[in-house]
Chains A and B, each alone.
Chain A
């Protein structure tokens, strides 16, 4: 129920009493509201849903997840 996709914050500014950002989704740029990610900085990746950043992507966590999967694969390959 939640079409949320990750995008990179490339600019932050104030507009209409709100903290807004320009987000780069990979060639598509959209204005998004940062009211719910007050800790966000330029360069961060955020999860965007209906024009709002609802969470910041944790790079460390992402790396861990992908590393674990790689280990699963390597373990599987070792089994004769």
Chain B
């Protein structure tokens, strides 16, 4: 075999994202961010949102309110531990809770694919009723549309919500402060893996269930216990994405201890099998909180006494300001940076 020159070979043409929306634009990663900042925000101009928190805070007659909206397109509709109905109620209730609001009422819009069975619809509505009762909210207004077969994938639900924020509460992604302690309310990655297990192709058997739950009562308990600066429910994009967003909004350096992150063993196993990083897997019944250092222990104690905070844990802290960065201290004692994913996480063979 004659010797040949390995140098000088270069890469083929780059792929440039073009004029079409791809699935990655909905994953909550940098592509989603890109769509927001390059298309929606400039397009809306002065009509664009003023803040990028889970809910928007409005002032009316000296009283603060929160308002938010969310669309739910989960597939399959029914997954271990929940369904699209429960998700629709809890998702919006939680977005309101993340700015410290007490949720008052929701609106709900259904887009139904022709041919969907009444049984399915009734099941979904029952879940919504149970979740709404748990959260202490009601549905004030609704809408229903039916589209031709293929128009949507069985059922899409949009919920909007409004809540009231008590005086003196000021919780936002921009309020993380050096010295803050970072808490999570329980195990990470349960929802995303539970939904994945029900999907064809990548499916696997597990007793793992989604954690979908309303967190407004937990939040009120936490607010009573101490000073909260930031709350976020790490849904699409997972814990990592939420932390990166907060680091950017507040311009702080965050350090997380991998050893301290609570995971169910089945979630870890699924991630190992598929090559996923559990930090990026969606949660629907968990929150991450940045709290005043001196109040952290008390808040943690009170969280652990509640239904949805039993496995709450301290996972890290804000170690500096002036630079936006998320650092992970790995289980072997190394350090690595955490960033947003470009788009959808893909199962690896490598």
**Closest chain A residue to B193, Cβ basis:** A28
Q: When the two chains form the complex, which single residue of A28, A48, A50 contacts B206, counting CB atoms closer than 8 Å?
A: A28
Is the CB–CB distance between A29 and B268 below 8 Å?
A: no
For A49, the chain B residues whose CB sits under 8 A away are 349
For B44, the chain A residues whose CB sits under 8 A away are none
Give the contact stretch, choosing among A1-9, A34-42, A54-62, A63-71: A1-9
For B265, the chain A residues whose CB sits under 8 A away are 26-27
Please provide the chain B residues from 238 to 267 with a CB less than 8 Å away from any CB of chain A in the complex: 264-266
Give the contact stretch, choosing among B30-38, B170-178, B269-277, B295-303: B269-277
Is the CB–CB distance between B272 and A27 below 8 Å?
A: no
For B205, the chain A residues whose CB sits under 8 A away are 22, 28-30
Q: When the two chains form the complex, which single residue of B268, B269, B350 contacts A3, counting CB atoms closer than 8 Å?
A: B350
Is the CB–CB distance between A26 and B268 below 8 Å?
A: yes
CA distance A3 to B273 in the complex (A): 8
CA distance A26 to B264 in the complex (A): 10
Is the CB–CB distance between B273 and A28 below 8 Å?
A: yes
**Closest chain A residue to B274, Cβ basis:** A3
Asked if B208 is an interface residue, CB under 8 A from chain A, the answer is yes
For A5, the chain B residues whose CB sits under 8 A away are 272-273
Is the CB–CB distance between B206 and A3 below 8 Å?
A: no
Please provide the chain A residues from 7 to 33 with a CB less than 8 Å away from any CB of chain B in the complex: 7, 22, 25-30
CA distance A1 to B275 in the complex (A): 11
Is the CB–CB distance between B204 and A27 below 8 Å?
A: no
- The bracket for how many chain A residues form the interface is 10 to 19
Residue total for B at the interface (Cβ-Cβ under 8 A): 18
Most chain A CB atoms below 10 A, which of B204, B273, B275, B348: B273
Is the CB–CB distance between B349 and A3 below 8 Å?
A: yes
For B268, the chain A residues whose CB sits under 8 A away are 26
Asked if B148 is an interface residue, CB under 8 A from chain A, the answer is no
Is the CB–CB distance between B270 and A28 below 8 Å?
A: yes
Is the CB–CB distance between A29 and B204 below 8 Å?
A: yes
Please provide the chain B residues from 197 to 230 with a CB less than 8 Å away from any CB of chain A in the complex: 197, 204-208
Q: How far is the CB of B332 from chain A (nearest CB, A)?
A: 13
CA distance A26 to B205 in the complex (A): 11
CA distance A77 to B293 in the complex (A): 38
For A28, the chain B residues whose CB sits under 8 A away are 197, 204-206, 208, 266, 269-270, 273
Is the CB–CB distance between A27 and B350 below 8 Å?
A: no
For B208, the chain A residues whose CB sits under 8 A away are 27-28
| Per-residue contact bits, chain B 275-318, to A (CB 8 Å; 1 contact, 0 not) | 10000000000000000000000000000000000000000000
Contact sample, A vs B, 27 pairs, CB 8 Å cutoff: A1-B349, A1-B350, A2-B349, A5-B272, A5-B273, A22-B205, A25-B269, A25-B270, A25-B272, A25-B273, A26-B268, A27-B206, A27-B207, A27-B208, A27-B264, A27-B265, A27-B269, A28-B197, A28-B204, A28-B208, A28-B266, A28-B270, A28-B273, A29-B204, A29-B206, A30-B273, A50-B349
Known contacts A7-B273, A27-B265, A30-B273; 18 further A-B pairs (Cβ under 8 A)? A2-B349, A3-B350, A22-B205, A25-B269, A25-B273, A26-B266, A27-B206, A27-B207, A27-B266, A28-B205, A28-B206, A28-B208, A28-B266, A28-B269, A29-B205, A48-B273, A49-B349, A50-B349
A-B residue pairs, 3 tightest by C-beta: A27-B266, A29-B205, A25-B269
Residues of B within 8 A of A (CB): 197, 204-208, 264-266, 268-270, 272-273, 275, 348-350
